[in-house]
Amino acid sequence: MTKYKKAAEAVERLSPEQHYVTQQCGTEPPFDNAYWDNHEAGLYVDVVSGEPLFASIDKFDSGTGWPSFTRPVQTENVTENFDESLGMRRVEVRSVHGDSHLGHIFPDGPEEAGGMRYCINSASLRFIPVDELDIEGYGEFKKLFSETLGETK
């Protein structure tokens, strides 16, 4: 089993925007980020720890300009905290092992998929295309995409 952790070297390699978002609870601009309009099949992992967070099969277009997902790929890799900044009460999403600020959860997602919208900053994520999952050490997640790719299980 892979162990994920926050390492000082990983934090030092972050771009200024990634650092702002993940370490200072920042928010990147909508419609001006890496993955809001990404339609490629693959896995989204924490940019700091590498822990698996979201899969493209659970991604949908929320019209907000940020990547939106109906659920995490592994619930044990995300934690939720109340966030009362900006004069409103929201639920913040953080990675468990990387302790990265990811974004927020809202109850306005697709009803047929549970009704939740995980509104996530691209700067907190690293995207791994399906055809690179084995090379990157995430081969166990390929099965999630077999139906999407027309393969049999």
How many helices (H) and strands (E) the chain has is answered by 3, 9
Q: Write phi, then psi, for 119 (nearest 5 degrees).
A: -90, 110
A 10 A CB-CB count for 147 gives 11
C-alpha 121/C-alpha 18 separation (Å) is 9
Dihedral of the CA atoms 78, 31, 113, 153 (nearest 10)? -80
DSSP 25: -
Query: Does the annotation count 25 as an active-site position?
Result: no
The letter for the amino acid at 132 is E
User: Of 45, 73, 116, 119, which is the active-site residue?
Assistant: 119
Helix, strand, coil percentages (3-state) for the chain, rounded to 5, are 30, 25, 45
C-alpha 103/C-alpha 148 separation (Å) is 26
Q: Would you name the residues annotated as active-site residues?
A: 119
